[in-house]
């Protein structure tokens, strides 16, 4: 997806919000210097060839370097993994006792996408969990998704955030229950970036005990060019299905031609750009099959 006008201001704001979240007492001079450093980078690159997730990597690399930490979100990621795990048994009970456990598991996995420290959307994790029954998708291609996975033997799930990954585990377990012959592969980031899940998080919540987990790029989205061969093998597997979680992954795949595959976006709209593209409101849940040009 090409960089959109809404993204430039958002990226600069993300630098500000990152510092305020990670080091509330940081000086304005340091914040402005970091933003200027990022703006200099923008001037020297082709913005038509650098989508928001790639530029986001640059922005958060600057934040990490200024703070002198390779993984500045580590403690927050750990906190949200633990928090989500506290809800696991309760949410698992909801899934198992619902009329359609697979749909409920997908719905909960979408709610998990609330946990995103880089978005404009407020984190209302507890509120969302407590109101699961009154929520629903604004865009819902669930029926199409079931048709797709019933015709394939390979499902690639593009993981997104920590905390959220706990509910992805529940989704994987539910899918395996109804489609035991389906090979499921789960992806994480190749290195720490914002609060995105890495292989360590997948191990911590137990996903590596369920399915094969592979690393993608180290950007807050999928950068095919810098992803390992193992990831590319599964991403481009013919007649497979991709379930893309979160906004960063969506921004990476939006407009990309992916032949011989059914691709589904599962996310919560968290910014004005998502409002414009999907025709929804911030906070709405989206489960949409990728179409040509989309």
Query: What CA–CA distance (Å, rounded) separates 74 from 171?
Result: 24
Non-local CB neighbours of 268 within 8 Å, separated by 6+ positions: 110, 111, 113, 114, 121, 247, 283, 284, 285, 286
Token pair, residue 107, equals 């719905």
In this predicted structure, what is the pLDDT of residue 262?
Answer: 96
DSSP 140-200: E-HHHHHHHHTT-SEEEEE--BTTHHHHHHHHHHHHHHH-TT-EEEEEEBSS--TTB-BHH
Name 288's bridge partners: 265
CA distances from 232 to 49, 227, 250 (A): 20, 7, 17
Give pLDDT tens digits along the chain (294 positions). 778 888 889 999 999 999 999 999 999 999 999 999 999 999 998 888 888 888 999 999 999 999 999 999 999 999 889 988 988 888 898 889 888 999 999 998 998 777 654 555 555 555 565 565 545 789 999 999 999 999 999 999 999 999 899 999 999 999 999 999 999 999 999 999 999 999 999 999 999 999 999 999 999 999 999 999 999 999 999 999 999 999 999 999 998 989 889 999 999 898 889 999 999 999 889 999 999 878
Query: What CA–CA distance (Å, rounded) separates 197 from 32?
Result: 29
The two counts, helices (H) then strands (E), for the chain are 12, 7
Model pTM score: 0.93
Q: Are 100 and 72 in contact (CB under 8 A)?
A: no
């Amino acid at each position: 997806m090409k960089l959109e006008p809404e993204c430039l201001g958002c990226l600069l704001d993300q630098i500000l919000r990152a510092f305020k979240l990670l080091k509330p007492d940081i000086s304005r001079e340091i914040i402005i210097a970091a933003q200027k450093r990022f703006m200099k980078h923008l001037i020297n690159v082709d913005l038509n060839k650098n989508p928001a997730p790639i530029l986001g990597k640059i922005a958060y690399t600057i934040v990490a370097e200024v703070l002198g930490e390779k993984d500045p979100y580590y403690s927050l990621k750990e906190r949200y993994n633990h928090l989500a795990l506290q809800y696991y048994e309760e949410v698992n009970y909801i899934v198992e006792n619902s009329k359609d456990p697979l749909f409920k598991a997908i719905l909960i996995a979408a709610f998990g996408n609330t946990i995103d420290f880089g978005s404009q959307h407020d984190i209302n994790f507890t509120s969302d969990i407590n109101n699961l029954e009154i929520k629903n998708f604004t865009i819902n291609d669930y029926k199409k998704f079931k048709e797709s996975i019933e015709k394939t033997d390979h499902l690639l799930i593009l993981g997104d955030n920590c905390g959220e990954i706990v509910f992805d585990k529940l989704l994987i377990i539910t899918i395996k229950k109804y489609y035991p012959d389906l090979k499921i592969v789960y992806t994480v980031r190749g290195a720490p970036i914002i609060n995105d899940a890495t292989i360590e998080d997948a191990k911590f919540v137990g996903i590596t005990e369920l399915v094969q987990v592979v690393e993608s790029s180290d950007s807050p989205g999928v950068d095919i060019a810098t992803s390992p061969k193992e990831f590319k093998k599964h991403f481009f597997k013919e007649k497979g299905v991709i379930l893309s979680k979160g906004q960063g992954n969506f921004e990476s795949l939006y407009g990309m031609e992916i032949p011989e595959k059914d691709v589904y976006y599962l996310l919560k709209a968290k910014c004005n750009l998502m409002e414009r593209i999907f025709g929804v409101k911030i906070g709405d849940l989206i489960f949409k099959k990728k179409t040509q040009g989309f």
